[in-house]
Amino acid sequence: MRIAAIVPAYNEEGSVGAVVRELLARGDVDVVVIDDGSEDGTGDAAAAAGARVVRLSCNLGIGGAVQAGFRFARDGGHEVAVQVDGDGQHVPAEIDRLLVPLRAGEADLVLGSRYVGEPSYHASRARRAGMRVFSAVVSALTGQRLRDTTSGFRAASRGVIEYCAEHYPADYPEVEALVLLRRAGFRVTEVPCAFRERCRGRSSITAARSVYYMVKVLLALGVGLFRSVPPRPESG
């Protein structure tokens, strides 16, 4: 099983090298870092650590960066793509948990969840409230209980790779992508995974941005209900 580890990164010079080295130490993944128009040495640090680096000429946001990673995996013939953040919060050893449902043919997309099983991640009260709102809305729209809809730690099958290489939400895509993929007929599941604190730096999602993010995503989900969904390829 050829696995691509997609690492979208924006100004993560201080942490991305350690993430790449830990991923490569597994010995079973091809690591590609999508340098999303960083203003620091993110791309150089990733390359020095041994990753393939795709350098975007401008900052497209997480959606554009992840889609670039899916296109890398599609064109490289990878059977699985695992999305891993460049800030060190995701544990490469936990990838094994994500792969189990894919290898068993039980799912097309597997979310590494902070809220299935014994919680290992402690978010602020405001962020927890937002996560509960997203969980309720996405569960209602998809007809499936999904708890950690904003998790960026996820593994995708070949069918999802090909689909997302062409059809992937821009900007903040994690929540919208779940609804899109479920409406297209893909199977989604969650598995419990351990998460860490950021290695360095701080999140760009401030309290004000959290509110903006929640409103924006909810509006996007509402508008999306009136759009036709590109069909899932029969081979996917």
Q: What is the DSSP string of 96-126?
A: HHHHHHHHTTS-SEEEEESSSSS------HH
In this predicted structure, the answer to whether residue 84 has a pLDDT above a threshold of 90 is: yes
Q: Can you tell me the mean pLDDT for 61-80?
A: 97
Q: Is residue 131 part of a domain?
A: yes
Cα 95 from chain centroid (whole Å): 13
In this predicted structure, the answer to whether residue 1 has a pLDDT above a threshold of 90 is: no
Q: For position 74, which CATH number holds?
A: 3.90.550.10
Compare 164 and 169 and report the one with higher pLDDT. 164
pLDDT of 183 = 93
For residue 90, the 8-state DSSP code is B
Instruction: Report the C-alpha gap between 135 and 213 in whole angstroms.
Output: 14
Contact at 8 Å (CB) between 180 and 217?
A: no
Q: Taking the model in full, what pTM does it have?
A: 0.88
When divided into structural domains, the chain yields a total of 1
pLDDT tier at 74 (50, 70, 90 boundaries)? very high
Q: Is residue 236 part of a domain?
A: no
pLDDT of 217 = 81
112-144 burial, b for 16+ CB within 10 Å, e for fewer? bbbbbeeeebeeeeebeebbeebbebbeebbee
pLDDT tier at 131 (50, 70, 90 boundaries)? confident
User: 220: domain range?
Assistant: 3-224
Amino acid in the structure at residue 128 = R
pLDDT of 213 = 73
Instruction: Report the C-alpha gap between 86 and 199 in whole angstroms.
Output: 9
Q: Can you tell me the mean pLDDT for 20-47?
A: 97
pLDDT of 95 = 98
pLDDT of 212 = 77
Question: Nearest 5 degrees, angle CA 175-CA 176-CA 182?
Answer: 100
In this predicted structure, the answer to whether residue 91 has a pLDDT above a threshold of 80 is: yes
pLDDT of 193 = 95
pLDDT tier at 199 (50, 70, 90 boundaries)? low
Q: Is residue 106 part of a domain?
A: yes
pLDDT of 209 = 66
Instruction: Report the C-alpha gap between 47 and 110 in whole angstroms.
Output: 28
Compare 198 and 231 and report the one with higher pLDDT. 231
Angstrom CA distances, 64 to 125, 163, 174, 196, 207, stand at: 29, 14, 12, 25, 24
In this predicted structure, the answer to whether residue 142 has a pLDDT above a threshold of 70 is: yes
Q: Is residue 182 part of a domain?
A: yes
Q: Which of 165, 6, 177 shows the shortest CA–CA distance to 71?
A: 165
